[in-house]
Amino acid sequence: MMNKAQANSSSYRNRLILLVIAGLFLYIVLPQIGAFKNSFNIARQADPLLIIIALSFSILTYVAAANTYYLLALRKLKYLRTIIAQMASMFVNRLLPAGIGSIGANYVYLRKSKHSVSQAASVVTANNFIGLVGHILLTSLLVVLFSAQLPEINPPVISTNIFILLGCLALLVIGTFIFAHKNRRFTTKFKEFGHQLATYRHHPLQLLSAILSSVSLTLFNMLCLYFCMLSLDVNLSFVTVMLIFTLGVVAGTATPTPGGLGGVEAGLIAGFIAAGISSPTAFAIALTYRFIHYWISLFTGAIAFGICRKRGYM
């Protein structure tokens, strides 16, 4: 049983975590109140029916994310609890640089769901890997099938700085491999991790279902953006919006701000402008999408996070 000192330590740690979360929440939300009001005003001018459809696809992203983890899990998960956990992980992801919060929250959830350290790491990594592969395959397929619908875009000039950056990234990757090879503890953990991933070979149908679920997650995110665009009386092809969405994801991932704040918007605006949409309209579409997909999920996710903390899911 937990003694009094351990209980006090655990209580103090929980309070500290909640204090940090609350501090991050206030740090992010308060400076963005102006942008939040602008997004709300723009959303009010959009077609209400199309906004509801966009919101519905945003909600479906939680279901798709929960489906993927439910299928990849190496220990049985409770479905409804997993959906709530995904909502909570999205909340944490909005408070930390893109991807980090979601990875950490899902890892903790899996550990609480009786996964070992290596099992939890394997499931999270498998989820992220098939998400990346699924996104690339879906985008490539759409580009090949509907290339005639793509607008003419002048490619940007690649500067010397880009090549320097790519060279630095290559050196970083090489350095990481050298470190991993010489670090025995890291090598042991990596082999154990590889063994866990190999277990998916014995469940090909389950893995295929997880891939399709992950692809649907990307599709739902993109459809949310697509209907936000339509709500403001802008018409671009499905494949064009997919490429713009991808640009927003890349920009958000590369931006070291909570939830890719600013980076996603910049990527989306740049994509719509490149596709021939005026700057004010492109800005309106990006803000409407982020209002639905970022701000609403931030507040609903906060409720889910509170539920997870209270019930011990995380």
In-domain check, residue 311: no
pLDDT at 35 over 60: no
Per-residue pLDDT averaged across 42-60, rounded? 86
Task: Give the pLDDT band of residue 112 (cuts 50, 70, 90).
Answer: confident
In-domain check, residue 17: no
The answer to whether the pTM exceeds 0.85 is: no
In-domain check, residue 24: no
Task: Give the pLDDT band of residue 174 (cuts 50, 70, 90).
Answer: low
Task: Give the pLDDT band of residue 230 (cuts 50, 70, 90).
Answer: very high
Least confident of 40-49, 195-204, 227-236, 297-306: 195-204
For residue range 134-172, what is the model confidence (pLDDT) as tens digits?
A: 788 887 777 777 766 666 554 444 445 445 545 655 665
In-domain check, residue 104: no
The answer for 258, left when phi > 0, alpha when psi is -120 to 50, beta otherwise, is beta
In-domain check, residue 256: yes
Which range marks the domain in which residue 190 is found? 47-57+117-298
**Number of folded domains that form the chain:** 1
In-domain check, residue 259: yes
In-domain check, residue 6: no
Instruction: Check residues 4 and 214 and name the one with the higher pLDDT.
Output: 214
Task: Give the pLDDT band of residue 63 (cuts 50, 70, 90).
Answer: very high
In-domain check, residue 228: yes
Task: Give the pLDDT band of residue 225 (cuts 50, 70, 90).
Answer: very high
